[in-house]
Amino acid sequence: MTDRSLRLRRNAGFRRFWAASTISDFGTQIGTVAIGVLVVADLGGTATDVGLVQSAGVAPYLAVGLFAGVLADRVRRKPLLVSTDVGRALVLSCVPLLAVTGTLDVPVLAALMVAFGLLSVLNAAAHQSFLPRLLPRELLPRANARLEQSDAVAQTTGRLLGGGLVAAVGAPLTLLVDAASYAVSGLLTAATPVLDTRPQRASRSVLADLAEGTRWVYRHPTLAPLAIGTHGWFLFNAVISAAYVPYALLELGTGALGLGVTYALAGVGALLGSSASVPLSHRLGIPATIAGSRVLGAGGILVVTAAAGTEGAAAVAIAAAGQFLYGLGLGAGGPIEMAYRQGVTPDRLQGRMNATMRSFNRAAVVVGAPLGGLFADAVGLRPALWLGAAGIGAAGMLLAASGFRTASHDDEAP
């Protein structure tokens, strides 16, 4: 075990933060399966409805995403994380209550997702900016890899568990597990030791701070092409997400449990990818690792489409193999991208940098998810998956040819 690995494991603050993230990751993966099945099976929704519910969850990024970054740079980040976790637990708890009273439908669920998304905007701005306060820069790649590995394990077992829970107790009650995970995450974060001092009182306007964060991202020689390439990935990945659940349930006939199995294999791939991400980036370089991971993910979705025309175990096996490749790419590139972003950005701009990139990423989802659903309903679920795969593959190749090709581990924050 290396000295850096030992230092990471012995850091009490990181251990608590890691545990909180892992538990909420498990709940999120369970909730992802439950929401998809709830829309399609319980509420009789179409691919368009799936896209609308997905876009509702990220729509608040369009309204307050950039301002959330300013807020995260102006207040203590730990209380913001704790309060938004508790709030999300309360919002998700409303779903089974409304289902029992017979008042839950697609528009009501979308409205709840808007409230959930608003809290998630605030949480995300603080969450991605919290790690650099816990750890020195040289530990960030390994720390992000650990977080990505936990998320991958959550995908592997969480979505499988989610499929089993949905089959056993139904989608609305399964969402209570997701709600509980956020409550526990909030408690663990509250107990995390960290130097989280209140920033000095801002001397400039909110708009001035917002503009500074936006300029930092889109005028930076390597962050700018990375940000734009990532926006493209989110746009076409939203098309895939809107089409995949109805494709698996309606066209392949996987059922909720089979859907969970395919998602679980994506988690296995992500776990392997994230485990190899740090050595891979040192061997191939940061640009090749991130760009290559996106092309690999596109290939995985093409394998998923090859399951059309099969049924039963064969359909699940082929879709799971494609999801494995997709997850492998996601796991290999994700930790390196996050560590690079954190490493080249000063602490005072961390919140705004993360919120800026996340806001435009989520804006791409708001556009891509409903359009993907409409495209799938009009042209077909399989062509929608082809379109998404072509888009994320092209985003990876364009990133490799952009100014990001000069990015390296030696780049530092000014």
Do 45 and 338 touch, CB atoms closer than 8 A?
A: no
In the predicted structure, residue 150 carries a pLDDT above the cut 70: yes
| C-alpha Rg value of the chain to the nearest Å | 20
Average pLDDT over residues 333-351: 86
Residue 399, SS3 per DSSP: helix
With b for 16 or more beta-carbon neighbours within 10 A and e for fewer, the 141-179 pattern comes to bbbbbbbbbbbbbbbbbbbbbbbbbbbeebbbbbbbbbb
Do 89 and 182 touch, CB atoms closer than 8 A?
A: yes
Average pLDDT over residues 213-218: 91
User: Which sign, positive or negative, has the C-alpha torsion 314, 166, 84, 52?
Assistant: positive
In the predicted structure, residue 201 carries a pLDDT above the cut 80: no
Quick one: tokens of 116?
């959930």
In the predicted structure, residue 326 carries a pLDDT above the cut 80: yes
Check residue 1 and give its pLDDT: 47
Do 127 and 17 touch, CB atoms closer than 8 A?
A: no
User: 324 falls in which pLDDT band (50, 70, 90)?
Assistant: very high
Average pLDDT over residues 114-142: 83
Q: What is the mean pLDDT of the chain?
A: 87
- Between 160-174, 195-209, 338-352, the lowest mean confidence (pLDDT) is in 195-209
Instruction: Report which of residues 203 and 235 the model is more confident about.
Output: 235
Quick one: tokens of 282?
């040192």
User: 207 falls in which pLDDT band (50, 70, 90)?
Assistant: confident
In the predicted structure, residue 43 carries a pLDDT above the cut 90: no
Do 31 and 91 touch, CB atoms closer than 8 A?
A: no
| DSSP letter string, 174-195 | HHHHHHHHHHHHHHHHHT----
In the predicted structure, residue 409 carries a pLDDT above the cut 80: no
- pLDDT tens-digit map of 47-95: 788 878 888 887 887 788 788 888 887 878 888 999 999 999 999 999 9
- Between 14-23, 54-63, 332-341, the lowest mean confidence (pLDDT) is in 54-63
Fold (CATH) for 3-190+204-406: Growth Hormone; Chain: A; (1.20.1250)
- pLDDT tens-digit map of 354-406: 878 888 888 888 788 888 889 998 999 999 999 999 999 999 999 999 999 99
Q: Give, in degrees to the nearest 5, the angle at Cα 320 between 274 and 360.
A: 55
Question: For 13, how many CA atoms within 13 A lie in the half-sphere containing its CB?
Answer: 12
Residue 156, SS3 per DSSP: helix
Check residue 199 and give its pLDDT: 66
- pLDDT tens-digit map of 27-40: 988 988 898 888 88
In the predicted structure, residue 197 carries a pLDDT above the cut 80: no
CA dihedral (141, 216, 351, 76) in degrees, to 10, reads 120
Provide the residue ranges of all domains of the chain, joining segments of one domain with +: 3-190+204-406
Taking the CB of residue 408, how many other CB atoms lie within 10 A of it? 11
Check residue 3 and give its pLDDT: 55
Average pLDDT over residues 203-220: 85
Task: Please identify which residue in the block is written with the tokens 């929704």.
Answer: 45
Check residue 115 and give its pLDDT: 94
Counting residues of the chain whose pLDDT is more than 70, the rounded percentage is: 95
Task: Give the Cα separation of 414 and 411 in Å (integer).
Answer: 9
Could you tell me which residues come within 8 angstroms of residue 364 by beta carbon, excluding any fewer than 6 positions away? 231, 232, 234, 235, 238
